[in-house]
């Protein structure tokens, strides 16, 4: 039992048992009275032994007066006793709360207490509600966008059947827009939506849909503040709204990587209790042309080719990625080009340090702590940036930039298991030309415990910013002949003859599941352009006693209003 003063304490009935129920500022606790001499216990979160339970107030979803007398115990031997008690204690209130199940999944459970008088019942409801109203990070009004065609096309059903009833129970009002075409949500957010009315935006869909919401919100915020997104060095203004993700797509790696599971009910509960998680957002430019923002994977070569091929097979649903994956694997293409990158300063760890981003992650927290400037670059360091750039020319099967682990059900540890959600860096993974068998071994290691970077043909760097220039025989590429030549951020440095077929000389970049139309890109801004996304689906087990904790950074409020992940993920709410 916690040491805080009791706000309310009563002897009530739960089913046929008499219980002592106690509310403090942080915990609702109840204990069976008769048999408590033998056993009693409680933990700081929701816990249960044979006779005692405790639920943290911040994980109470709602409290309601129960309309009917739901003694809820129909076992024959107890029915009579229960009926007698329902006559003696006819006034019932029900507390809905978060219950943790396996593998980071949350469920909503109910517990009903029977009171002898209406006044006592009302008092309990009122006092619990007063405590809930002190939790100011909880959203009250949400704007929900549903992509009806994401994943297995179940977005609408998932929202209506699994999420809306929970929002109603938590007294959250939601304006729902079912999108009618690609970019509907983005454009609505950019120009039309009255964002003052809402505490957050919810995205029902996959990574592509989440990306739409991020683009809508970030662009709207920059426009409102007169920031020119086309400048790679522009300092972006943080968004004031958080984004919540209800997974209903094909990969859903942003939800998985922040919440720890792809489960709509878990995400809805994280949104309800107001969890949040900051996230790195980087900007991708082609010369002076702004292309997109990215929060998860920027992949050229293998993942770009998988995505390009899979778009033609959308009708297959999520299985399209497996089919296109096998096809792309068998094609075994590689691409020549030059990668330049600016490595991170010491202190932000490295991609092979096996430090995973979990609740309370010290790397992400320190990065955003205003007091702790130890990782910020001094002026001299910034000036010497030019000398710190590294350049690699080569033939690559894949070039991947993972701003977060990119964990998903296909690869539970992700493309870069030690990448951080909010450290302002990305892990740049270069897979050089190798045999099919070696590449297969590398891929397979994404699914088991072996280190996928422990190959001679793979290298990985934690970077603040990077550039890629594909090898071109002519500078005018096949990217878009109708466009005037673009100013290049740097000149191609390749030499020698590529062994690729010319038609396969370029791949495409996959950016959070969307294809970029330029191969030459600069990805910047992990220090300058980083925008925090507050994800309401805070990851894993913050505040829990579980062994496997996921960290949540929370001190990025200067970037995004609210707590931290302005867009969120299951995540930016």
Ligand X SMILES: Nc1ncnc2c1ncn2[C@@H]1O[C@H](COP(=O)(O)OP(=O)(O)O)[C@@H](O)[C@H]1O
Enumerate residues 344-383 that contact ligand 1PX by CB under 6 A: none
- Residue 179 interacts with, from Ca ion, ligand X, ligand 1PX, none (CB under 5-8 Å by kind): ligand X
Using the rule CB under 6 A, is 509 a contact of ligand X? no
Rounded to whole angstroms, the maximal C-alpha distance in the chain is: 90
Q: Which is nearer to ligand 1PX, 281 or 307 (CB)?
A: 307
- Residue 280 interacts with, from ligand X, ligand 1PX, Ca ion, none (CB under 5-8 Å by kind): Ca ion
Catalytic pick from 199, 207, 252, 275?
207
Q: CA 14, CA 8: separation in Å to the nearest integer?
A: 17
| Alpha carbon separation from 529 to 232, 282, 517, 525 (Å, rounded) | 8, 7, 22, 4
Enumerate residues 249-288 that contact ligand X by CB under 6 A: 249-251
Tokens representing residue 223 in the block: 């426009």
Assess contact for 52 and 2: CB atoms under 8 A: no
- Residue 46 interacts with, from Ca ion, ligand X, ligand 1PX, none (CB under 5-8 Å by kind): none
Q: Which is nearer to Ca ion, 139 or 257 (CB)?
A: 257
| Alpha carbon separation from 46 to 43, 100, 137, 276 (Å, rounded) | 7, 8, 20, 20
Using the rule CB under 6 A, is 209 a contact of ligand X? yes
Q: CB of residue 134 vs ligand X: minimum separation in angstroms?
A: 36
Candidates 13-21, 48-56, 100-108, 244-252; binding stretch for ligand 1PX (CB under 6 A): 244-252
The vertex-462 CA angle with 459 and 468, nearest 5°, equals 70
Q: Site for ligand X (CB under 6 A): how many residues?
A: 22
- Residue 306 interacts with, from Ca ion, ligand X, ligand 1PX, none (CB under 5-8 Å by kind): ligand 1PX
Site string for ligand X, 117-156 (x = CB under 6 A): ------------------------------xxxxx-----
Residue, CB closest to ligand X: 206
Query: Which residues 6+ apart lie within 8 Å of 434 measured at CB?
Result: 397, 442, 455, 457
Tokens representing residue 5 in the block: 């003063």
The candidate with the shortest Cα–Cα distance to 241, out of 279, 202, 281, 187, is 202
Candidates 77-85, 232-240, 320-328, 470-478; binding stretch for ligand 1PX (CB under 6 A): 320-328
- Please identify which residue in the block is written with the tokens 């190959």: 455
- Answer yes or no: 207 catalytic: yes
Candidates 62-70, 246-254, 390-398, 533-541; binding stretch for ligand X (CB under 6 A): 246-254
Using the rule CB under 6 A, is 207 a contact of ligand X? yes
Burial class (CB in 10 A: 0-12, 13-18, 19+), 71: buried
Q: CB of residue 162 vs ligand X: minimum separation in angstroms?
A: 16
Q: Which is nearer to ligand X, 49 or 183 (CB)?
A: 183
Q: How many CA atoms lie within 13 A of 194 on its CB side?
A: 3
Q: CA 202, CA 70: separation in Å to the nearest integer?
A: 34
Assess contact for 430 and 288: CB atoms under 8 A: no
Q: Which residues are catalytic?
A: 207
Binding site for ligand 1PX (CB under 6 A): 206-208, 249-253, 296-297, 303, 306-307, 321-322, 325-326, 329, 406, 408, 410-411, 415, 440, 443-444, 446-447, 510, 512-513
């Amino acid at each position: 039992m916690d040491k805080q003063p009791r706000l309310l304490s009563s002897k009530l009935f739960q089913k046929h048992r008499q219980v002592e129920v106690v509310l403090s500022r942080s915990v609702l606790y109840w204990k069976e009275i008769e048999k408590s001499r033998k056993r009693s216990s409680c933990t700081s979160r929701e816990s249960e032994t044979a006779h005692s339970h405790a639920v943290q107030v911040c994980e109470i979803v709602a409290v309601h007066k129960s309309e009917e007398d739901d003694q809820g115990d129909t076992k024959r031997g107890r029915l009579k006793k229960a009926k007698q008690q329902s006559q003696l204690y006819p006034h019932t209130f029900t507390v809905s709360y978060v219950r943790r199940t396996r593998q980071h999944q949350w469920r909503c459970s109910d517990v009903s207490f029977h009171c002898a008088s209406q006044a006592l019942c009302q008092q309990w409801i009122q006092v619990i509600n007063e405590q809930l109203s002190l939790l100011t990070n909880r959203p009250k009004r949400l704007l929900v966008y549903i992509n009806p065609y994401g994943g297995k096309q179940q977005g609408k059903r998932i929202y209506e059947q699994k999420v809306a009833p929970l929002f109603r129970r938590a007294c959250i009002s939601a304006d729902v827009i079912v999108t009618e075409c690609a970019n509907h949500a983005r454009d609505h957010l950019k120009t039309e939506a009255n964002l003052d009315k809402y505490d957050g935006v919810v995205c029902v869909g996959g990574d592509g849909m989440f990306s739409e919401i991020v683009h809508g919100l970030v662009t709207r915020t920059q426009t409102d503040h007169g920031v020119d997104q086309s400048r790679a060095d522009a300092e972006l203004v943080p968004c004031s709204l958080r984004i919540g993700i209800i997974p209903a797509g094909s990969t859903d790696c942003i939800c998985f990587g922040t919440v720890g599971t792809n489960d709509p009910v878990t995400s809805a509960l994280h949104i309800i209790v107001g969890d949040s998680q900051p996230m790195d957002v980087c900007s991708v430019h082609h010369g002076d042309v702004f292309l997109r923002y990215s929060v998860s994977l920027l992949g050229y070569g293998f993942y770009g080719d998988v995505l390009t091929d899979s778009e033609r097979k959308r009708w297959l649903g999520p299985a399209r990625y497996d089919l296109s994956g096998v096809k792309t694997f068998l094609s075994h293409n590689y691409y020549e080009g030059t990668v330049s990158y600016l490595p991170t300063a010491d202190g932000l760890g490295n991609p092979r340090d096996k430090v995973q981003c979990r609740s309370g992650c010290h790397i992400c927290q320190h990065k955003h702590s205003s007091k702790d400037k130890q990782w910020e670059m001094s002026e001299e360091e910034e000036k010497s940036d030019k000398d710190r750039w590294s350049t690699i020319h080569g033939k690559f099967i894949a070039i991947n930039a993972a701003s977060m682990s990119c964990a998903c059900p296909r690869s539970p540890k992700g493309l870069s298991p030690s990448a951080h959600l909010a450290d302002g860096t990305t892990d740049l993974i270069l897979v050089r030309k190798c045999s099919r068998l070696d590449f297969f071994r590398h891929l397979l290691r994404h699914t088991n415990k072996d280190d996928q970077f422990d190959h001679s043909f793979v290298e990985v760097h934690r970077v603040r910013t990077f550039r890629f220039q594909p090898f071109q025989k002519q500078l005018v590429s096949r990217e878009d002949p109708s466009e005037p030549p673009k100013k290049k951020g740097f000149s191609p440095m390749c030499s020698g003859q590529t062994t690729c077929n010319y038609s396969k000389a370029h791949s495409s970049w996959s950016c959070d599941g969307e294809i970029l139309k330029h191969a030459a890109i600069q990805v910047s801004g992990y220090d300058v352009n980083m925008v925090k996304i507050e994800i309401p689906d805070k990851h894993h087990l913050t505040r829990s006693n579980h062994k496997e904790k996921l960290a949540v950074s929370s001190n990025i409020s200067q970037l995004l209003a609210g707590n931290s992940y302005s867009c969120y993920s299951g995540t930016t709410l």
